[in-house]
Amino acid sequence: MRAIGNCHESELLSPQAESTADPGIARDILVNHLNFFNFQGRSVIVNLRHKDFGRALCLNATPLPCSGNRLQCFWADPEELPEDLAFFETETIVVPLGRDSLCIPGTDAVCDLEGISLDLPAFCSKIGIRRLERYRCPDIHVSMIQNSALFQGRLIDFNALSFCVRISLTPPQSYQWLNAELPVNILLQDDRQTIFCGECRIIREGGSKQNREFVLCPTVHNTRRFRAKKARSTRQELLPLPSIVFTHPLTRKLINLKVTDISGSGLAVEEDRANPVLLPGMFLKNVRLRFTNHFEMAFDGQIIHRTPSVDDDQASRCGIVFLDMAVNDHVQLLGLLQHACDPNAYICDAVDMDELWRFFFDTGFIYPQKYQHLQKNKDRAKQVYQTLYAQNPNIARHFIYREKGAILGHISTLRFYDKAWLIHHHAAKGNKGRKAGIAVLNQIGSFINDSHSIYSMHMEYVLCYFRPENKFPRRVFGGVTESLNDPQNCSIDNFAYFYDATGDPQDWDVSGSWELKKASAEDLLDFAAFYENCSGGLLTSALDMEADALEQKELNREYKKLGIQKEREIFAFKENGKLKSILVLSISDLAINLSELTNCLKIFVLDQNLPVKSLNCAINLISAKSPHTNIPKLLFPVEYAEANLINYEKQYCLWIFKTKNSDQGLRQMRSTTRFNRQ
């Protein structure tokens, strides 16, 4: 029950609305509308006026099934009936149809405590009330904030351009605390999630001292979820057009819209400008991206903008960004989009493993010295690669460039750390090898640009190892590092790589001042401080060497489900309680990385005066814990190895890139390779 004129419902009886009346709606059409309202359990609005004092009142009533000339309705909220109902007379009954309403004169209506009944006229009026349709919203909680004052209430109805909320006061609150000339911040929530949060202006208000209704209009029509990019994801128009299907979080109605263009990071749809339901800033859950009835994928997203359509003046174009998507669904989408852009580009496509192994040998990627380490475990390596390439697990991605069916280029990436992916196995062959090598590099660059914002990818960093004497990776990855010129966004650390460490574990003086034990959180804090002073790069966070990362085991369990070994132990080497070195033993199946950079011992020397003999004893003691014989060692910093004449075979540069800078990194990579420059 509410008085007419308080808020937006006053439009139902406004003189302007009456002036647009169409008198030609026949009774049979009216009856069909009333029966539909009964079928849906919806209410009509009964407008009453006091016979003596002229006070206006509107009540909700539910129509009974109607088959003739007589309409009967029961009150929807009998507890709201006024005690003096008998002193009111019926003016009109309004059947709201969205933007329009049907208006039935209340002549000769019989009104009592049960409901209302009247004879239906041969024709009724159709009233054009609203420019845009409003949708009722069940069970949506509203928080309205202005100048630190918090008001609570419920959402009444909604469209993408404005909505109505009903606010209830909690003592000592007063509506005088609200200044209608200033914006308010609105938070819309259901019992599970936040649906919308944004700034709005108050259009109008009305109601009682305790409960008041506000019509609000959002002030922001473009929401920036992530930082703006110049190297934007390539948007494509697919034929036939896919569609999105979802339950609207505010109205609970099923929405189906055509997708006008799509990329790996988001999509655009068009909706009727007269019936807008996509509110910029609104979160969407479990949206089904449907290509056919039997091919669809689900995602969570956010509406980030709404603009008039260029091609259709009756439509609005809305952009939606992907926030989360099942990892395998996302790679399917990327594979579809990249293949549509370049028919020779494939992501996680089926590959004949014999052909792939031949490719690795033909390109010289597996050279004789590397094969010496591989051949002892070649059968196990074949099994592991069959798992990684045939099952397409969440932890692995491969990119292949083919011409006439032949593999010309390859690169792959592996989620080897909790929030970091290792890029490796970049190879190309033939006269077109350079083009193919750059093509797969461009593929993985686009993959990073499209994927890092997807929560399920866990891709805060990407990293790779390369030899400093190799000009191409030094130019590409080193170029990105130089371009960013910030080790907290992109860093390179050099390691000495060797196999043998002189020193017999039997020489260990167990009664002496040296101590070798599992690293504690405090040890990793000390290491982080050392590394910050020494390098200032990203290694500690990307390689899970922060103090709070010691107990992270979820990723290891994911490998175990695939039947692939992945373990890690971190040791602290101390003298008289003072930390001298951190040693990280990574144990994995051989050949996950063909250079064994995932199955190695990393040694970080914090004290440059650490005796080599003592360090070698610690190295050999820890190496003995590995199930594999003679694992490679990577030592940091290289200067320690050189100063102490450690005979290392080569150096590896560890390049780490923070993916939130994927825009600048991808632009630099494209500029360096001069491929697909934007």
Q: Does 3 fall in a domain?
A: no
State which H helix or E strand residue 292 sits in: strand 283-292
Tell me, yes or no, whether 519 and 614 share the same domain.
yes
Residues 1-40 pLDDT 10s = 444 333 444 333 333 343 444 557 899 999 999 999 999 9
Q: What angle do CA 510, 584, 488 make, to 5 degrees?
A: 135
Tell me, yes or no, whether 666 and 649 share the same domain.
no
Side-chain half-sphere exposure of 382, counting CA atoms within 13 A: 11
Tell me, yes or no, whether 204 and 248 share the same domain.
no
Q: What pLDDT does residue 114 have?
A: 92
Q: What CATH number is given to the structural domain containing 440?
A: 3.40.630
Helices 353-362 and 378-390 cross at an angle (nearest 10°) of: 120
Helices 433-451 and 662-673 cross at an angle (nearest 10°) of: 170
Tell me, yes or no, whether 395 and 422 share the same domain.
yes
CA distance 567 to 548: 17
Q: Does 233 fall in a domain?
A: no
Side-chain half-sphere exposure of 601, counting CA atoms within 13 A: 28
Q: Does 473 fall in a domain?
A: no
Q: Does 189 fall in a domain?
A: yes
Tell me, yes or no, whether 195 and 105 share the same domain.
no
User: What CA–CA distances, in Å, run from 4 to 57, 86, 136, 154, 556?
Assistant: 6, 18, 19, 20, 65
Residue with tokens 């075979």: 649
Q: What pLDDT does residue 10 have?
A: 37
Q: Does 119 fall in a domain?
A: yes
- Which position has the higher pLDDT, 17 or 313? 313
Tell me, yes or no, whether 507 and 645 share the same domain.
yes
Q: Which residues contact 290 (CB under 8 A, 6 or more apart)?
A: 242, 243, 244, 245, 296
Q: Pick from 123, 154, 124: which is nearest to 139 by CA? A: 154
Residue 28's φ and ψ, nearest 5 degrees, are -65, -35
Tell me, yes or no, whether 497 and 608 share the same domain.
yes
* pLDDT above 80 (res 674): no
- Of 27-31, 340-344, 625-629, which range is least confident? 625-629
Range of the domain at 93: 8-128
Query: Domain boundary residue among 297, 324, 351?
Result: 324
225 pLDDT tier (thresholds 50, 70, 90): low
In what side-by-side order are the strands of the sheet with 100-105?
22-26, 123-128, 100-105, 88-96, 44-50, 56-63, 70-75, 115-119, 110-111
Tell me, yes or no, whether 646 and 664 share the same domain.
no
Residues 405-423 pLDDT 10s = 999 999 999 999 999 999 9
Q: DSSP per residue over 564-609, as a string?
A: --EEEEEEEEEETTEEEEEEEEEEE-TTSSTT-TTSSEEEEES-TT
CA distance 429 to 127: 72
CA distance 318 to 332: 24
Tell me, yes or no, whether 453 and 502 share the same domain.
no
Q: Does 113 fall in a domain?
A: yes
Q: Does 486 fall in a domain?
A: no
Tell me, yes or no, whether 576 and 648 share the same domain.
yes
Query: Domain boundary residue among 324, 346, 372?
Result: 324
SS3 content of the chain, % helix, strand, coil (to 5): 25, 40, 35
* pLDDT above 50 (res 678): no
Q: Where are the beta strands (DSSP E) in 192-242?
A: 194-207, 211-218
pTM above 0.85, yes or no: no
Q: What's the structural domain count of the chain?
A: 5
Q: Pick from 407, 460, 464: which is nearest to 436 by CA? A: 407
CA distance 125 to 106: 12
Residues 258-270 pLDDT 10s = 999 999 999 999 9
Query: Domain boundary residue among 299, 324, 349?
Result: 324
Q: What pLDDT does residue 502 have?
A: 65
Beta strands 184-189 and 243-247, pairing class: unpaired
Side-chain half-sphere exposure of 354, counting CA atoms within 13 A: 0
74 contacts 64 by C-beta, under 8 angstroms: yes
Q: Does 476 fall in a domain?
A: no
- Of 178-187, 505-514, 591-600, 614-623, which range is least confident? 505-514
Q: What CATH number is given to the structural domain containing 14?
A: 2.30.110
Tell me, yes or no, whether 168 and 280 share the same domain.
no
**What is the three-class DSSP state of 492?**
strand
State which H helix or E strand residue 311 sits in: none
Q: What CATH number is given to the structural domain containing 198?
A: 2.40.10
State which H helix or E strand residue 550 sits in: none
Tell me, yes or no, whether 97 and 193 share the same domain.
no
**What is the three-class DSSP state of 410?**
strand
Mean pLDDT of the chain: 88
